[in-house]
Amino acid sequence: MKKSVLILAAVTGILFWGCTKTDSFNSMSSSLKQSVSTGITAVNNAVGTISTSKGFEVLNANSVAMKSEVTYTDSVTLASVAGIYDFKPDLFHFYDFFIPHRLFVKTGTSSEMIVNLPGKLVMHPRFLRELNAPDSLLKNNFTIKASDYYFYFNFLNKFDYRLAAGFTLDTIDIGHMEITSSAEPTIQSYTSSYAFPGGYAISVSSQRTDTIVNTFTLSKEGNVLMEETVIVAPPQHGTVMEEGTGEDHEFRHREHLYMLTIGNVEIKRGGGLDSIQVFLNGVLQKHAGARIIDSTGTDGSIMHKRDILITFDDGTTTNLSTLLDPAKEALKTLVDALHSMNFAKNIVDYIAIGIDYDMHHDHD
C-alpha cells in the first residue's frame, strides 16, 4: 500500500476548540447587519494576514508529481527517531529498498526529533525526493522540532498517528502543527491544527461512525472568528450516494445538522428543515433569516460550493460568499491543506521513516 494512502485513510476525527468570542462581538446593541460586517471583517483580516505568512507556504508546499511508493507496515515512535539531524545526503547510497535513509546524519542527542534542512526542500518537497547534487550544498535554514511523533499501521484496518511539531525558518518561528489520527473498523477520527505567530490558528476535524461530523475553526488568541460544523449520514453499504444540492430532498435528509458561526452570529439548520435560523448573541432573530444555496456537487461546506443568502432586519439581502471574497479562496486552501496534511506526509513522515530505518538497519 502506498504511504500516501496510509495517511489519507486515517484522515477523519473530531475536535471542538474551547474558544470564546471576543468582547467586540458581544455588544447586544449591535444589529445583525453590523455584527455580520464586524465578524466578516475579522475573518478577512485574519485570512489576509495568514495567507502572506511562511506558515501558509508550509501548509501548501507543492506536492505535484510526488513519489509515494514507500511502504511501511511497522511503527515509528518519537523514541526511535529522537535526536538532532542535519541534512547531509549520501548521494551514492541515496535509495536503498525504497527508503531514502541516507539523507541525514545525526549530529546530537535530544529527547525530541530535531531536523535541520534547506527551506527549498520544505517548500518544494519533490526536491527532497528527487535530490539534485547541488542541493546538498544548500544551507540548513529550516528546522523541524517534533515533541511528539507516533506512526503505526497494520493491514487489519488499524492506524494510529500523532504529531506535534514547531517550525522555524532562518531561526524565526513560523508556526506549530498538531495532528492526531486513528482508524479502526468501526470508527475513524482525525484532527489537525496549525497555530500561526501572532495568535491566529486554524483547525479541522472529522469523525466517522454512524454519522460523519466535520468541523473547521478559525480563531485568534482562543476567540472564535469563524466555525463551521456539518453532520451528515454516510452512504449505506452497497449503495451509491450521489452528491446532492441544497434544494434536493435526499441531501436535506442525510444532512442532520449544519452550523456556521461568524463572530457573535450563528446560522443553524437541523435535518429536514427547509429554512435556517439566525441567532445574534444566542438570541433567535425573528425579523431576519437565511437560506442555504448549494451548487451541484456540494459537500455541505461554505469552503466549497455552499453559499448562504442572508436577509437582514431591514429586508436587504447579501450572499455570504460575496462578503467573504477574496478571503474564502485562501481559507478553502488552508482547510483543504489541513485535511490532506501534505506537509506531514511529504516531509515529516518521509524524514522520520528514513531516520528510523537508518538507525535500526545495517547497511554498507
Percent helix / strand / coil, the chain, rounded to 5: 25, 35, 35
Predicted local distance difference test score (pLDDT) of residue 119: 94
Confidence of residue 183 (pLDDT cuts 50, 70, 90): confident
Mean pLDDT along residues 44-62: 88
Burial of 248 from C-beta contacts in 10 A (0-12 / 13-18 / 19+): middle
Contact in structure between 10 and 182 (CB atoms under 8 Å)? yes
What DSSP string runs through 104-131? EEEEE--SSEEEEE-HHHHHSTHHHHS-
Instruction: Provide the whole-model pTM.
Output: 0.81
HSE-up (13 A, CA, CB side) for residue 28: 3
Mean pLDDT along residues 321-335: 88
Predicted local distance difference test score (pLDDT) of residue 44: 93
pLDDT for residue 201 is more than 90: yes
364 or 174: which carries more pLDDT confidence?
174
User: And the C-alpha cell for 300?
Assistant: 455541505
Predicted local distance difference test score (pLDDT) of residue 120: 92
Distance CA 42, CA 221 (A): 13
Contact in structure between 59 and 343 (CB atoms under 8 Å)? yes
Distance CA 321, CA 305 (A): 10
Predicted local distance difference test score (pLDDT) of residue 252: 45
Confidence of residue 272 (pLDDT cuts 50, 70, 90): low
Sign of CA dihedral 137, 143, 148, 151: negative
Q: What integer best gives the mean pLDDT of the chain?
A: 79
User: And the C-alpha cell for 5?
Assistant: 494512502
Residue 192, SS3 per DSSP = strand
pLDDT for residue 133 is more than 90: no
| Percentage of residues of the chain with pLDDT beyond 70 | 75
pLDDT for residue 72 is more than 80: no
Contact in structure between 293 and 305 (CB atoms under 8 Å)? no
> What are the beta bridge partners of residue 76?
151
